[in-house]
Structure 1
Amino acid sequence: MTIFAPWPSDPPLRHLFLRDMIVDAHIGVFPHEQGVTQRVRVNVSYGVRDGEGPDEGPDDLSRTVSYEHVVMMVRRIIAEGHIRLVETLAERIAAGVLRDRRVVVVRVKIEKPDIFQELDSVGVEIERFQPG
């Protein structure tokens, strides 16, 4: 999953990602999806401006957003209770990542891998930008 800068003239971005996080979630709109969990695959990719200041070195922690923070946030959102749509889950995750003002853009992909036997997965992918 690759994210591109909104405009070619923008400063370069550092892209961080969570790939193929598998979680059991209470999700779905159909009666058979109520009261049970389903496997959900979560991918999150987010861009942080890279090297804006002259004093920032490659090991400067202010230049990155913690993977662990994002993983814990995804777990917390899923633990909050039943979510009807994968789109809703994706929007909540994107909004959570964008709370960190250093994040310029986030892409979230939510997949349900066990829905159709002949498909690897179904789902949604969204991309959201920092307002302003």
Structure 2
Amino acid sequence: MSASPLSETPFPAPALAPKVAKIIVTKVFVRGLKVDAQIGVYDHEHGRVQPLVIDVELDVAASHCEQLGDTVNYETIRTAAQDIAAAGHIDLVETFAERLAQACFDDHRVTRARVRVEKPLALAPHAAAAGVEITAVRG
């Protein structure tokens, strides 16, 4: 009786295969960051703060991260968003998103930044939120 074709394997044993592929990009993200900002183009939006909900996803040229200094600290994203909000009135969420993306590029390891800024009250109660999402790449 001959052996079953299913019992024969043409592939090398798993022990011969590489154990770990080289990591080329680490994604660092913050989701649902809440920041109060003076933002908006309408008269009723001037002189008051509104909540923003921010998502940031960064591509970071980092691998084999063993210590906090090996990667981007989430706190720097939160601090940058708060600093932008504290700097004064901004007309557009697009401007806020662009400034936050630029702040993320202060870390030389960041190669791409995706920033989403939502204004939950912009179309309330007709919509859960309105906003913008941008993607920026290091030039």
TM-score by length of 2: 0.78
State which structure, 1 or 2, has the greater radius of gyration over its C-alpha atoms: 2
* Contact 1:101/1:130 (<8 A) preserved: no
Q: Residues 58 and 99 from structure 1, CA distance in 2 versus in 1: closer, same or farther, beyond 3 angstroms? A: closer
CA positional deviation for 1:118:
2.0
Pick the aligned partner of 1:15 from 27, 38, 45: 27
CA RMSD, aligned part only? 1.3
Residues 102-117 of structure 1 correspond to what in structure 2 (within 5 A)?
Answer: 102-116=109-123, 117=125
* Contact 1:107/1:127 (<8 A) preserved: yes
Please, which runs of 5 or more residues in structure 1 have no aligned partner? 1-10, 52-56
Q: Which residue of 2 aligns with 1:64?
A: 71
* Contact 1:49/1:63 (<8 A) preserved: no
Pick the aligned partner of 1:35 from 22, 47, 54: 47
CA positional deviation for 1:120:
1.0
Give 4+ residue runs of structure 1 displaced > 6 Å after superposition.
none
Q: Distance in 1 between matches of 2:34 and 2:65?
A: 31
Q: Which residue of 2 aligns with 1:6?
A: none
CA positional deviation for 1:115:
1.8
TM-score by length of 1: 0.82
